[in-house]
Amino acid sequence: MADQKKRLDSNVTGNFYVDATCINCDTCRQLAPASFEEVGSFSAVTSQPTDEEHLHRAYQALLACPVGSIGIEQSEPVQMQEAMASFPLHLEDGVYYCGFNSKKSLGANSFFLEHPDGNWLIDSPRYLKHLVEAFERKGGLSYIFLTHKDDVAEAEKYATHFGAKRIIHRADLEAAPGAEWIIEDVTSSQIFPQFEIIPVPGHTAGCMALLYKNKFLFTGDHLWWDSKQQVLRAPSQRVWRKRVLLDSLQKLLGYRFEWVLAGHGDRVRLSAESMQSHVQTLIERHHPTRVSP
């Protein structure tokens, strides 16, 4: 729970605030960009919500915050319940953002994918009764795809409860040594109709992306959307091998997708053509001599 005594001076006056326990993970800014912004090394409330939509988003941000650093001076139970009920948050075509980001993955996003042949969890949120029951209503979990070792969080608890198979690359197996499905390949592999695993080492040796329906690309920490600059970004720090990362970005030019669904950083939906253009521009920023395949 947030502590008013630790309320940051960068917050504007009003009901919502961020305290000094903030880890600047960007979760609140993704969910409620009209209310939260980055100020220095933390998020802060720069505009109090003034209508129902912005109020709803601010409560979503409060619930999703992995460290409970968002507080309210006076709670509004109905709005809080409505925000709780909105998670998992449907994006499109049976794909959901889970919410309830986990401190164990430094606030990384996770996603739920509803599929008639078995539902998927991509990386892990906090293990909460609300999410367990929501997944149960939709038929449980069959697979838990772990993009890399940093965002495993409480995947083991979900796997145990639902009897789901955790999927992780051999190179990152240290984070989930009991995983039921270990990927050995360094090349892409179609594991089911509509599902393709794309190894994208760079940030870690075992980073993988999951491509679903040639439309949704779950990228972990390999690729994300910068909503302020309106560009795609890739990691420049905490990188296992920069040259390998660049090769992995280049690999994505061979695929069509419309969604980038990232662990850290914002998600975005663009046309497949626009997405390819943004990937190419990103590659050129990292290495100007690289050309399209």
As given in the structure block, the two tokens for residue 272 are 């497949």
As given in the structure block, the two tokens for residue 208 are 């993988």
Same domain, 100 and 211: yes
Same domain, 64 and 174: no
Report if residue 275 sits inside a domain: yes
Last residue of some domain: 84, 114, 138? 84
Q: What is the DSSP letter of 253?
A: G
As given in the structure block, the two tokens for residue 59 are 């409560």
Residue 287 has a pLDDT of 73
CA end-to-end span of the chain: 50
Same domain, 102 and 58: no
Last residue of some domain: 84, 105, 128? 84
Residues 6+ apart with CB under 8 A from 174: 149
Tell me the pLDDT tens digit for each residue of 194-226.
999 999 999 999 999 999 999 999 999 999 999
Number of domains in the chain: 2
Last residue of some domain: 59, 84, 109? 84
**Residue 288 banded pLDDT, cuts 50, 70, 90:** low
As given in the structure block, the two tokens for residue 145 are 């795809």
Least confident of 32-36, 56-60, 88-92, 289-293: 289-293
Same domain, 93 and 76: no
Report if residue 232 sits inside a domain: yes
User: Quick check: 192 and 234 in contact, CB under 8 A?
Assistant: no
Q: At 61, which CATH number? A: 3.30.70.20
Residues 6+ apart with CB under 8 A from 89: 60, 96, 97, 98, 99
Residue 254 has a pLDDT of 96
Same domain, 162 and 29: no
Distance CA 157, CA 169 (A): 19
Nearest to 111 by CA among 255, 271, 267: 267
Same domain, 64 and 153: no
**Residue 1 banded pLDDT, cuts 50, 70, 90:** confident
**Residue 240 banded pLDDT, cuts 50, 70, 90:** very high
Report if residue 59 sits inside a domain: yes
Residue 289 has a pLDDT of 57
Nearest to 205 by CA among 255, 148, 280: 148
Amino acid 51 reads D
Report if residue 292 sits inside a domain: no
Same domain, 30 and 166: no
As given in the structure block, the two tokens for residue 292 are 């399209």
Q: What is the mean pLDDT of the chain?
A: 96
Asked if residue 248 has pLDDT above 70, the reply is yes
What are the helix (H) ranges across 152-263? Answer: 155-162, 242-251
Report if residue 291 sits inside a domain: no
Same domain, 263 and 154: yes
Report if residue 235 sits inside a domain: yes
Instruction: Domain of residue 249: give its range.
Output: 87-286
Amino acid 223 reads L
Mean pLDDT for the stretch of residues 183-204? 96
User: Quick check: 49 and 34 in contact, CB under 8 A?
Assistant: yes
Distance CA 222, CA 202 (A): 8
Asked if residue 293 has pLDDT above 50, the reply is no
Tell me the pLDDT tens digit for each residue of 59-109.
999 999 999 999 999 999 999 999 999 999 999 999 999 999 999 999 999
Asked if residue 272 has pLDDT above 80, the reply is yes
**Residue 286 banded pLDDT, cuts 50, 70, 90:** confident
As given in the structure block, the two tokens for residue 96 are 């959901």
Distance CA 96, CA 93 (A): 9
